[in-house]
Amino acid sequence: MEYFMVSAQKVPPLQHFRKTEKEVIGGLCSLANIPLTPETARDQERRIRREIANSNERRRMQSINAGFQSLKTLIPHSDGEKLSKAAILQQTAEYIFTLEQEKTRLLQQNSQLKRIIQELSGSSPKRRRAEEKDEGIGSPDILEEEKTEDLRREMIELRQQLEKERTVRMMLEDQMRSLDAQLYPEKLKAIAQQVQEQQVQTQSLVRLQKQLERDLTPAHSPQVLAPATPPAPTHHATVIVPAPAQTPQPHHVTVVTMGPTSVINSVSTSRQNLDTIVQAIQHIEGTQGKGFEEEQRRAVIVSSGRILSDAAGSDTASNSDGPDDCSLP
DNA sequence: GAGACGGCGCGTATATTCGG
DNA sequence: CCGAATATACGCGCCGTCTC
Q: What is the pLDDT of residue A287?
A: 35
For chain A, what are the domain ranges?
18-74, 80-121, 145-214
Chain B positions with an atom below 7 A of a protein C-beta are: 3-9, 17
Residue A56 banded pLDDT, cuts 50, 70, 90: confident
Q: Which nucleotides of C are covered by protein (CB under 7 A)?
A: 6-14
Is the pLDDT higher at A306 or at A163?
A: A163
Question: pLDDT value at position A327?
Answer: 30
Q: What percent of chain A has pLDDT over 70?
A: 24
Which of A196, A165, A200 minimizes the C-alpha distance to A291? Answer: A200
pLDDT, tens digit, 9 for 90 and up, residues A66-91: 778 778 888 887 766 777 777 788 78
Confidence (pLDDT) at A34: 54
The least confident of A95-104, A125-134, A300-309 is A300-309
Between CA A91 and C1' C20 the distance (Å) reads 46
- Interatomic CA–C1' length for residue A32 and nucleotide B6, angstroms: 35
Higher pLDDT, A28 or A308: A28
Residue A11 CA and nucleotide C2 C1' are separated, in Å, by 44
Asked if strand B contacts A53 at the CB level, meaning under 7 A, the answer is yes
Residue-wise DSSP of A24-68: HHHHHHHHTT----HHHHHHHHHHHHHHHHHHHHHHHHHHHHHHH
Strands in chain A per DSSP E: 238-241, 254-257, 300-303
> Other CB atoms closer than 10 Å to residue A138's CB: what's the count?
11
The distance (Å) linking the CA of A21 with the C1' of C15 is 27
Q: Which residues contact A198 (CB under 8 A, 6 or more apart)?
A: A281, A284, A285
Cβ of residue A129 near strand B, that is under 7 Å?
no
| A57 Cβ nearer than 7 Å to chain B strand | yes
What pLDDT score does A40 carry? 66
Spatial distance from the CA of A82 to the C1' of B15 (Å): 14
The answer to whether residues A226 and A274 touch, using CB atoms and an 8 Å cutoff, is no
